[in-house]
Amino acid sequence: MKMNPINREEMNRYETVLREEFEKISLDKSKRALEIILFPPFFYIKSLSQHFTGLIAVGSQDVSSYQKGSYTGEISASMAYAEGALFSLVGHSERREYHKENNKDIAKKIRTILDAGMCAVLCVGESQEEHNTQKTDEVIEKQVEEGLFGVKEDEADRVFLVYEPIWAVGSDETPTSSEISFAKKIIQERLYKLFGEKGEKMKILYGGSVHSRNLLETCIVSGMDGALVGRSSLDPKEFLEIASRAKIV
């Protein structure tokens, strides 16, 4: 959802339409195999978690790398958890690019997320230049290994990975299913190296301009465990259409 909706009135409209769409297609937890998670701005976490209990889980778009202290403007993982967030994104391409977050910063955030009792959703992926110069495997391996530094084997099941090619984010360009499958294989191999058999069971999602029209190729044919939906999540009808096409019911 990124920095949307922009005010409470818009959020109320979003929640109303979202609930109407849920009622139409009966996407309650007892009838689906996958979890639906929304990552709203911090101010709406509590509202969504309270109004959609049993329908969705709620996550934070980001957290501070610090647990507490004199860090003006920061929001800690424990604060997000107290508001109802059970997940937190970390390492999103926009955070890496606009806020210059590196793998060490990301590893610190994952530590605070896990310590707060939440699950971490780590985004990894290559730039257009790295893709063009065939450095996808090198970039992803480094991001996974350094980003998960300090994660213990018995915590592995609380970390989800997202392959998020930077060149596809916010564009109409998407990788082929074979390219996505290749990236998943790289991630799986690195996870196995880090966590053994536990690493084999970790979930890997695809993110990068996902919509209902490309879901088959990007997520289903490629064998991904789910999708991280960006701008399409701002339209509740399209968002739940994606859920339906993913054969969640």
Residues with catalytic annotation? 92, 164
Query: Which tokens hold the place of 242?
Result: 């994606």
Q: Which residues face 228 on adjacent strands? A: 207
Whether 210 and 228 have beta carbons less than 8 Å apart is answered as yes
Residue keyed to tokens 């190729």: 217
**DSSP string for residues in 191-205:** HHHHHTHHHHTS-EE
How many residues can be counted in the chain?
A: 249
Distance CA 245, CA 215 (A): 8
Task: Return all residues near 162 (Cβ < 8 A) that are at least 6 apart.
Answer: 121, 122, 123, 124, 125, 204, 205, 206, 207, 228
Distance CA 23, CA 245 (A): 17
Q: What backbone torsions phi and psi does residue 206 show, to the nearest 5 degrees?
A: -110, 140
Q: Which residues face 90 on adjacent strands? A: 122
Please choose, from the candidates 6, 95, 25, 65, the residue with its C-alpha nearest in 3D space to the C-alpha of residue 238.
Answer: 25
